[in-house]
Amino acid sequence: MHCPVRFAPFPPERIVGQNEFGIWICDGFPVSAGHSLIIPKRHVGSFFEVSPAEREGLLELLDQAKAAVDAAHRPDGYNIGINDGAAAGQTVPHLHLHLIPRFLSDVADPRGGVRWVIPEKADYWSGR
């Protein structure tokens, strides 16, 4: 599953999977092997703006992407993320879900996962 892609536009060869509500592509700047994006077809900026049917369709694509990444790369875990709004780091003003495969030893200490978006508050377990 090698996908040398960028964010947009999406020629057919970039699209790994799709349904009525969204498309699945491989991230153009992957942080790990199999890093995928799930993107709604309707232009919408926030996850909180999608309809229940769109949300279900996007999560169906997320499941498909996970199954394919499991088969191709056998990761040990996943981070699933959405940067929703500029304060959350969103740089592309179109909703997209990241499926980021994680592997044992890809970082020295993965505890806290997505909590590291605010590093000073991430470590709640050590008593620092």
Active-site residue, 43 included: no
Q: Which helix (H) or strand (E) holds 73?
A: helix 52-73
Token digits of residue 71: 């088969």
Residues linked to residue 25 through DSSP beta bridges, in sequence order: 15, 37
Residue with tokens 């926030």: 46
Task: Say if residues 40 and 60 touch (Cβ distance below 8 Å).
Answer: no
Residues linked to residue 22 through DSSP beta bridges, in sequence order: 40
Pick the catalytic residue from 43, 94, 96, 98: 96
- List residues with catalytic annotation: 96
